[in-house]
Amino acid sequence: MSKKTKPWGGRFREATNEQVERFTASLHYDRRLFRYDIDGSIAHAKMLAHQDIITQEESGAIVKGLKGILKDIEEGRFTFSDEDEDIHMAVEKALIEKIGEVGGKLHTGRSRNDQVALSVRMYAREEIRQIGAALERLKNTLAGLARAEKSTIVPSYTHLQKAQPVLLGHYFLAYWEMFHRDADRLNDCLHRVNRMPLGAAALAGTSLPIDRSFVARLLRFPQVTANSMDTVSDRDYVAEIIFVLALIMMHMSRLCEDMILWSTDEFRYLEISDAFTTGSSIMPQKKNPDVAELIRGKTGRVYGALTTILTILKGLPMTYNRDLQEDKEPLFDAIDTVKASLDILAGMLEGVTFNRDRMKAEAGLGYSTATDAAEYLVRRGVPFREAHGIIGRLVAYCIGAKRTLSEITLEEYRRFHPAFDEDIFQAISVESSVNARESAGGTAERNILKKLSEIEEI
Ligand code: ARG
């Protein structure tokens, strides 16, 4: 582009170095913002006429021209030129080409600094809505699994050592809670994203009689941003969104890790469907959980995006600096990654089949109901610490005798404490173990059903 065709060409005598043009360009990625740039400009042009800063005819011509450009882009007729620095310049240049000099009135009372902020905020709030909807779909899948597996008994783990039997429905509802918090966090950050920045201009506002609230109303922003300097340099909302996305990835990654582990030959708790697994090019017997592994792996890119944006922001002097152009690629990549992962994870989970017999059998091994035996004594007046010691010695005895808690006799139990009765065998069964845990938030099936009916009411 020659110096004359640059919007800021006036004070320059030399053309921009070509390498600099390539280095500073963002069009190849920010073109995805075209709709928001154009909608924002249409609202701005309408406001300029409403405030008599330009005439109704001028505004009408600008709006018509912009709508034509939108259509051209949507229908693939628009040719993006390498000469354009970013989407905002490309649209403005096309407008002037289309409607002539009057197109040059669009940039009245605004700058690219607030214009970029407007497009990113509009893009972000739309994506937040879409990710919210994808989270709802995943939560529904998890609630469906919880209902289907409400009485399936599975071992639970701490330190990846077998802990206590739980219901598989309870496990899925644990993930439901995580994604529910994520949806809540996303909604919360929407309040801060949803502020209208246009009119901050370069950084200090404008001397022209603009009406920022008018633009906000047209673009359905509940509020305008408060301080013009903050407005052009603020990217807190980008960091905040990426942080929420990083947590969503982390939650998906943990769920995937369990699915990977539980599908191994060593666990054999579940099988992921053929449609969501891949084979090996050399080992014919293999069926690999690549989808789950990739979600786990892609978590790294979203964490990377968070580190990127935080690092970009940390040393910036007030106010706008070109560094801020680097906010978009991490944001776009994090959003694309989370959307793709949420969608495919829901699909993968729907095709998982569970090996219920094996999970139940495993849940009973490893003295997993020892706590139930201790609580049995507690109910008979034995202090918990003492009961813990008694059952600990009993478990050691069983290990020595190579028998489980249900394979020793009542007489043997009584050797450890006289309070044991015939009903101890019932108390240490995996079924009573899970269903006895009726404390608020505990694994009992009654709690699962209660939670599921609450979920259905939301
Ligand atoms: N593409 C740039 C960005 O995303 C546009 C802003 C340029 N503003 C400026 N004063 N050079 O930040």
* Gap from CA of 25 to ligand 1 centroid (Å): 9
Catalytic one among 2, 81, 273, 280? 280
Catalytic one among 28, 159, 191, 429? 159
Let me know if 121 is exposed, middle or buried by CB neighbors in 10 A (0-12, 13-18, 19+): buried
Treating both helix axes as pointing N-terminal to C-terminal, what angle do 34-50 and 112-148 enclose, rounded to 10 degrees?
A: 130
* Gap from CA of 113 to ligand 1 centroid (Å): 6
Pocket residue to mutate for ligand 1, from 6, 112, 320, most atoms within 8 A of Cβ: 112
DSSP secondary structure, 362-379, as one string? HHHSTTTTHHHHHHHHHH
Q: Mean pLDDT for each consecutive 10-residue tract of the chain (458 residues)? A: 63 89 96 98 98 98 98 97 95 98 98 98 98 98 98 97 96 98 98 98 98 98 98 98 98 98 97 91 87 98 98 98 98 98 97 97 94 96 97 97 95 97 96 95 97 92
Q: Please report the pLDDT score of residue 446 as a whole number.
A: 97
The minimum-distance atom of ligand 1 relative to the CA of 120 is 4
Taking CA atoms only, the protein residue closest to ligand 1 atom 11 is 322
Q: What is the CA radius of gyration of the chain?
A: 31
The minimum-distance atom of ligand 1 relative to the CA of 328 is 4
* Gap from CA of 339 to ligand 1 centroid (Å): 27
Can you say how many angstroms the Cα of residue 364 is from the centroid of all Cα atoms in its chain? 36
* Gap from CA of 190 to ligand 1 centroid (Å): 24
Helix or strand holding residue 265 (H, E): none
The rounded distance, in Å, linking the Cα atoms of 40 and 118 is: 7
Torsion over CA of 330, 335, 337 and 338, rounded to 10 degrees? Answer: 130
Q: Do you find a cis peptide bond into 319, omega within 30 degrees of 0?
A: yes
* Gap from CA of 86 to ligand 1 centroid (Å): 8
Residues 6+ apart with CB under 8 A from 326: 308, 312
Q: Please report the pLDDT score of residue 56 as a whole number.
A: 98
Distance, first Cα to last Cα, the chain = 56
Q: CB within 6 Å of ligand 1 — which residues? A: 26, 86, 112-113, 116, 320, 322, 324-325
Pocket residue to mutate for ligand 1, from 28, 107, 322, most atoms within 8 A of Cβ: 322
Q: Please report the pLDDT score of residue 12 as a whole number.
A: 86
Among this protein's residues, is 191 annotated catalytic?
A: no
CB neighbour burial string for 253-278, b if at least 16 within 10 angstroms, e if fewer: bebbebbbbbbeeebebbbbeeebbe
Let me know if 359 is exposed, middle or buried by CB neighbors in 10 A (0-12, 13-18, 19+): buried
Among this protein's residues, is 280 annotated catalytic?
A: yes
Taking CA atoms only, the protein residue closest to ligand 1 atom 10 is 113
* Gap from CA of 115 to ligand 1 centroid (Å): 9
